Structure 1
Amino acid sequence: MGKKLDSITAELKEFIERQKIFFVGTAASEGRVNLSPKGTDSFRILHENKIVWLNLTGSGNETAAHLLKNNRMTIMFCAFEGKPLILRLYGQAKIYHNRDMEFHGFINLFPENTGARQIIEMDIDLVQTSCGFAVPFMDFKEDRNTLNSWSTKQGKEGIEAYWKNKNTLSLDGFETKILGD
């Protein structure tokens, strides 16, 4: 059934590239555990042990706060169609903002998005597969454009104001550093 691997295989890379959603799990050493669904065209495999993903502006900024406290991260994919599979990527992550050189090195890997908030780079130290036999079949209908439309309507200044009002602290009061130190 399940396997533990040191890296993303070619077959798993193809599986990841077909997925429309992934889930990100983070936690500081105290406080709440965060699990976030991520969609749109926001995930890239750089090589078998390194990925990046584009974190878009949202109602919270838990991932950033947690990574500043504890850099461990888990990413999970589920097959909702075709052959059953659950895939987890475990590793350590770094967070980059628009003010960071690394952000500008990665941002062109993704479609332009006014709501681009951070880029997360993760070094993978364990890849785990499991059966996924109980995951239901679900048909993909289409991407939601609500977040992208909202971000575009806000514009750069509106997004930055939103960050200041909604994205500077986690649910547990941890700093996110969205506006710098």
Structure 2
Amino acid sequence: MGKIYERLTDRLRDFISAQPVYFVATAPQSGGHVNVSPKGYADTFAVIDDVTVAYLDLDGSGVETIAHLRDNGRITVMFCAFSGPPTIVRLYGTGRVVTPHDTEFDGLIKLFGPHPGVRSIIVVDCDRISDSCGFSVPFMSYDQDRTLLDEWAGRKDVQQKRDYRARNNRESIDGLPGLRAEETDPATLRS
């Protein structure tokens, strides 16, 4: 059954890197809605060290994760096996938002593959790393990544991306602040 780890072992790193999808969960400090977001593209997740991970935050219809992290920092990232041994890995911790305006962005962006719609990088300092059985998780086969998000972002010029982010990413569904006005500008660097 489940086990708690002090760090990301080689076995856990291998498991994480083999999963084509992962899930990110956050919630506001009080009241409001709990958010769970599925994430894809294998090259959008990176293990930085034994207790720190990061992922690319790509353009999306909402800004819940950014708003919740700025509200309280709490985050859980979950990986589950849809093939092979039935395993679930959860990374609990404190997340922070690194935008293209932050000095560490240029160093972090190099950890990821090329994507045109990068809003930020979410860095998670893990304070609990655990695995558990995935006995009830169904077997499903992976065919390929959907390229629609990259294609959509690739068709937008700078002003269109700015307008979209200003319209959809300035606050969460519960009214918490999301992207600040100066953060709606698309990154001039592609990952």
* Structures share fold, TM-score greater than 0.5: yes
Give, in whole Å, the separation in 1 of the partners of 2:9 and 2:142.
25
1:4/1:129 contact within 8 Å kept: yes
Shift of 1:178: 4.0
Distance 1:177 1:55 in 2: 12
Determine helix, strand or coil for the equivalent of 1:28. Answer: coil
Cα separation, 1, equivalents of 2:163 and 2:180:
11
Superposed CA RMSD in Å reads 1.1
User: 1:33 maps to which residue?
Assistant: 34
Distance between the aligned counterparts of 1:47 and 1:99, measured in 2?
23
Mean Cα displacement is larger for which, 76-85 or 3-12? Answer: 3-12
**Alignment gaps of 5+ in structure 1:** none
1:83-132 deviations in Å (ceiling 9; x for gaps): 11010001111101111112222112112222001101111111111110
Aligned residues: 181
Structure 1 residue 179 displacement after superposition: 2.7
Q: Is the 8 A contact 2:90 2:131 kept in 1?
A: yes
| TM-score, normalised by the number of residues in structure 2 | 0.92
Cα distance in 2 between the residues matched to 1:156 and 1:140: 33
Distance in 2, Cα, partners of 1:22 & 1:96: 20
Q: For each residue in 1:46-92, what CA deviation from the matched residue of structure 2 results, as whole angstroms up to 9, or x when unmatched?
A: 11100110010000010000001010110000000001101000111
1:101 corresponds to 2:107 = no
Runs (5+) with no aligned partner, structure 2: 184-191
With the length of structure 1 as denominator, give the TM-score of the two structures: 0.96
Q: CA contact under 8 A between 1:7 and 1:125: conserved in structure 2?
A: no
Aligned to 2:19: 19
Identical pairs, percent: 42
